[in-house]
Amino acid sequence: MPMSTETSLAQIGVVGLAVMGSNLARNFARNGNTVAVYNRSTDKTDKLISDYATDGNFIPSKTIEDFVASLEKPRRAIIMVQAGHATDAVINQLAEVMEEGDIIIDGGNALYTDTVRREREIAARGLHFVGAGISGGEEGALNGPSIMPGGPKESWDALGPLLESIAAVVDGTPCVTHIGPDGAGHFVKMVHNGIEYADMQVIGEAYQLLRFGADMSPAEIADVFAEWNKGDLDSYLIEITAEVLRQVDAETGKPLVDVILDAAGQKGTGRWTVKEALDLGVPTTAIGEAVFARALSSSLGQRAAAQGNLPTGSLKTFGELGLDKAEFIEDVRRALYASKLVAYSQGFDEIKAGSDEHQWDVDPRDLATIWRGGCIIRAKFLNRIVEAYDNNAELPSLLLDPYFKGELEGLIDPWRKVVIYATQLGLPAPVFTSSLSYYDSLRAERLPAAIIQGQRDFFGAHTYQRIDKEGTFHTLWSGDRSEIES
Ligand code: 6PG
């Protein structure tokens, strides 16, 4: 029999009690739910009960059978173990003891195609499977994450109130909603993370320009970011960047940012977002550049070989550019804002394309609503995205929303200037730069794609279409160069 801190059955169970799982279990308990808990090795379960029993009612179990027996029906168990094989193993264990109508929820960062497969397999066994993206890191899991559950609608009916009880709340609205069937929840969580990568990278690019362009200290830049956090850029990531920049290394007395190795890691969700975007044919250039920037930063051998060893051309210093520091800071802020707009716009494009492809019917407005709190990309600016979709649910691009278009009026010139300055200073700004190119491509009347079509037709008879009449055409390049309809 499971040991119990209370006699009734649990409304929810958590399997996997590393920090995320344990914090999620505590969050459920603190919000009045009785929580069944299980971990493969009992030390983590024991620690949770000994350290946090006062958070509420837990029912700890030593075996998966006891764990399942301690849940009320329909049984609801959230798995918080490492994505991949560990998740499959736990799903199987649970499925063997669970009964028809019970719900298995995977709260990890699973690849959405795995979620689709798992739901199919689990449904065949009469159970429900819900892939739920959970964002907010360890602190969010404890105090209120943003939750993106997919899976069948019936599961949402049984799960919704429980998830609402632990989610972050913004303006009275819990940051959780049913995203759509099967893999929809994990798909949007993947894109959330892709946007997170781009958001982090644009902040990094702004830092780089202020630090090595305007020669500002990390502490000074921290003040600038804290100031930015009071305006359009108000967001969790800007806020924590200011804190990181203020941190001094106890050992050396230097700013911590100067002693951290500048090689960014990645667990894969950003990369997945880009791979998926490639398959869907959606240009998520900002996310792509952010993923590549991390990869380049980690290519330490290649970087060491290139450092001080490649021609720079005639660069200018900040002084030589004759820039006013306060103006430069404001221009960089605007370039960051504009690039961030592009990143979000592209991320929402990918979500729409994924939703159309899989017939998930994801509502971008709902998504923007639940990203306003709890998650890593939470930002005031998401309110504007909600309004944009309120005004026009079929917006062809977020950039075309009247409010954002108005913002772009004021951002475009500083953005162009900053891209030029970065080039003249020789400072890398891949997302600022590529986002501007994306923007100019999007609004261009003619793109060089006509040349590419001509080339393709020349070497491979791939054919082209014309702007002035229907049909598919080919020029007889190796013949008399007349055009035929094909
Ligand atoms: C979140 C985060 C979280 C995590 C990712 C990204 O939404 O809470 O996105 O899922 O930080 O694992 O990590 P990497 O930067 O290592 O890919």
In DSSP notation, 270-308 reads HHHHHHHHHHHT---HHHHHHHHHHHHHT-HHHHHHHTT
For residue 193, how far is its CA from the centre of ligand 1 (angstroms)?
A: 6
198-223 pLDDT, tens digit per residue, is 999 999 999 999 999 999 999 999 99
Q: Tokens 């970065």 — which residue?
A: 422
Q: What distance in Å separates the CA atoms of residue 114 and residue 268, rounded to the nearest whole number?
A: 14
Q: What distance in Å separates the CA atoms of residue 381 and residue 372, rounded to the nearest whole number?
A: 8
109: which DSSP letter? -
* Residue 197 assigned to a binding site: yes
205 noted as active-site residue = no
Quick check: CB of 136 below 6 Å from ligand 1?
yes
Every domain of the chain with CATH number 3.40.50.720 lies at 12-178
CATH number, domain 189-443: 1.10.1040.10
pLDDT value for 4: 45
For residue 36, how far is its CA from the centre of ligand 1 (angstroms)?
A: 26
Cβ-proximal residues to 458 (8 Å cutoff; 6+ apart), any chain: 475, 477
Q: Which atom of ligand 1 is nearest to the CA of 189?
A: 7
Q: What distance in Å separates the CA atoms of residue 433 and residue 398, rounded to the nearest whole number?
A: 19
Identify the band that residue 177 occupies on the pLDDT scale cut at 50, 70 and 90.
Answer: very high
Q: What distance in Å separates the CA atoms of residue 216 and residue 282, rounded to the nearest whole number?
A: 37
Helix (H) or strand (E) holding 173: strand 173-174
User: Which tokens in the block code for residue 405?
Assistant: 């278009």
Report which protein residue has its CA nearest ligand 1's atom 1.
Answer: 135
For residue 323, how far is its CA from the centre of ligand 1 (angstroms)?
A: 37
Report which protein residue has its CA nearest ligand 1's atom 11.
Answer: 137
196 noted as active-site residue = yes
Judged against a pLDDT cut of 80, whether residue 229 lies above it is answered with yes
Q: What distance in Å separates the CA atoms of residue 29 and residue 53, rounded to the nearest whole number?
A: 9
Q: Which atom of ligand 1 is nearest to the CA of 270?
A: 17
pLDDT value for 7: 59
Q: Checking phi first, is residue 45 left (phi over 0); if not, alpha (psi -120 to 50) or beta? A: alpha
Judged against a pLDDT cut of 80, whether residue 482 lies above it is answered with yes
Class for the domain spanning 12-178: alpha beta
Average pLDDT over residues 48-71: 97
Quick check: CB of 375 below 6 Å from ligand 1?
yes
Q: What distance in Å separates the CA atoms of residue 107 and residue 127, rounded to the nearest whole number?
A: 17
Q: What distance in Å separates the CA atoms of residue 281 and residue 128, rounded to the nearest whole number?
A: 32
- On average, the pLDDT of the chain sits at 96
DSSP 185-207: HHHHHHHHHHHHHHHHHHHHHHH
DSSP 333-371: HHHHHHHHHHHHHHHHHHHHHHHHHHT----HHHHHHHT
Judged against a pLDDT cut of 90, whether residue 1 lies above it is answered with no
Quick check: CB of 266 below 6 Å from ligand 1?
yes
Assign a CATH topology to domain 448-485. Answer: 1.20.5
User: Which tokens in the block code for residue 372?
Assistant: 């306003």
Q: Which atom of ligand 1 is nearest to the CA of 265?
A: 16
pLDDT value for 3: 46
* Residue 456 assigned to a binding site: yes
pLDDT value for 84: 87
Quick check: CB of 120 below 6 Å from ligand 1?
no
Cβ-proximal residues to 157 (8 Å cutoff; 6+ apart), any chain: none
Cβ-proximal residues to 452 (8 Å cutoff; 6+ apart), any chain: none
244-269 pLDDT, tens digit per residue, is 999 999 999 999 999 999 999 999 99
* Residue 75 assigned to a binding site: no
Cβ-proximal residues to 330 (8 Å cutoff; 6+ apart), any chain: 414
463: which DSSP letter? -
Identify the band that residue 83 occupies on the pLDDT scale cut at 50, 70 and 90.
Answer: confident
Every domain of the chain with CATH number 1.10.1040.10 lies at 189-443
Report which protein residue has its CA nearest ligand 1's atom 10.
Answer: 135
Span of 2-6, 175-179, 391-395 with lowest mean pLDDT: 2-6
Cβ-proximal residues to 472 (8 Å cutoff; 6+ apart), any chain: 463, 464, 465, 485, 486
pLDDT value for 2: 45
Every domain of the chain with CATH number 1.20.5.320 lies at 448-485
**Choice from 109, 298, 371 to test ligand 1 binding pocket (greatest atom count within 8 A of CB):** 109
| Selected residue with higher pLDDT from 364 and 83 | 364
Quick check: CB of 267 below 6 Å from ligand 1?
yes
Do residues 235 and 380 touch, judged by C-beta distance below 8 A?
Answer: yes
Report which protein residue has its CA nearest ligand 1's atom 14.
Answer: 266
409-452 pLDDT, tens digit per residue, is 999 999 999 999 999 999 999 999 999 999 999 999 999 999 99
99-126 pLDDT, tens digit per residue, is 999 999 999 999 999 999 999 999 999 9
Q: What distance in Å separates the CA atoms of residue 196 and residue 109, rounded to the nearest whole number?
A: 14
pTM of the model: 0.96
Cβ-proximal residues to 141 (8 Å cutoff; 6+ apart), any chain: 19, 20, 23, 24, 27, 134
For residue 447, how far is its CA from the centre of ligand 1 (angstroms)?
A: 36
Report which protein residue has its CA nearest ligand 1's atom 9.
Answer: 193
**Choice from 80, 193, 291, 294 to test ligand 1 binding pocket (greatest atom count within 8 A of CB):** 193
453-469 pLDDT, tens digit per residue, is 999 999 999 999 999 99
Quick check: CB of 59 below 6 Å from ligand 1?
no
Quick check: CB of 109 below 6 Å from ligand 1?
yes
Cβ-proximal residues to 268 (8 Å cutoff; 6+ apart), any chain: none
The catalytically annotated residue of 44, 119, 189, 205 is: 189
What strands lie across the sheet with 35-38, from one edge to the other?
58-61, 35-38, 12-15, 76-79, 103-106, 128-135, 146-149
Quick one: what percent of the chain has pLDDT higher than 90?
98
279-334 pLDDT, tens digit per residue, is 999 999 999 999 999 999 999 999 999 999 999 999 999 999 999 999 999 999 99
* Residue 81 assigned to a binding site: yes
Quick check: CB of 208 below 6 Å from ligand 1?
no
